[in-house]
Amino acid sequence: MLMKKLREKREAELKRQKIETMKKVGAALIIGSVVSSVVTLFTAPKSGKELRKDVSDTFENGAEFVKGNAQKVAYKTEKAANTAKEKGLLFKDRAVSTVGKVSADFKKTIKDKKADFAEKKIEFKEKADDLLDEAKEEVANAAIEGAEVFGEGAEAVEEASELIQEKIEDWKENQ
């Protein structure tokens, strides 16, 4: 859309320049022909009939000259406009191609990053699961060791209780 507007604006500008150039060339040729005719009229020592023929020939030559140059200007302007149009189209094609390549590269990069992220997510989950299993094992071992220590403590308390009971009975007997 933007490229179309730019192309239309450029074409309008080229057309305006072509018209301005043709006006300038035409005006210059007409002025030159008139000046040339006037100078010829005043400087030529000819009869009226010869002078009219010279003036007619001069105007015809001037008109042909203006027509020929106008056609040359129109041809050159059209050629320049076509060249500008071709270059604009080439530029557009290169821009579209470049944008396409950049877009494809960007999409590939995003896809690669998503794949990397998925791999890292799996690795993280596996490591977390391993750490959780290790923690469960450590807690279980600590519970077993605690139970063993508690069992040993209970046995020690029972033995101490029996020993105290024996000492109390011995003391009662001795009293």
The tens digit of pLDDT for each residue in 49-66 reads 776 777 778 778 877 877
pLDDT-wise least confident of 4-8, 27-31, 141-145, 151-155: 151-155
CB atoms within 10 A of CB 66: 19
How many residues are there in the chain?
A: 175
Tens of pLDDT, residue by residue over 118-171, are 999 999 999 988 888 888 888 888 878 877 777 777 777 788 788 888 878 878
pLDDT at 44 over 70: no
- State how many domains the chain has: 1
Is residue 93 very low, low, confident or very high in pLDDT (cuts 50, 70, 90)?
A: confident
Q: What is the mean pLDDT of residues 102-131?
A: 89
Dihedral sign, Cα of residue 84, residue 89, residue 92, residue 98: negative
Torsion, CA 105, CA 111, CA 112, CA 117, rounded to 10: 150
Give the domain extent around 105. 2-174
> Which residue has better confidence, 29 or 108?
108
Long-range contacts of 79-85 (CB under 8 A, 24+ apart): 80/14, 81/11, 81/14, 81/15, 81/18, 84/10, 84/14, 85/7, 85/11
pLDDT of residue 122: 93
Query: To the nearest whole number, what is the mean pLDDT of the chain?
Result: 81
Global pTM value: 0.37
Is residue 46 very low, low, confident or very high in pLDDT (cuts 50, 70, 90)?
A: low
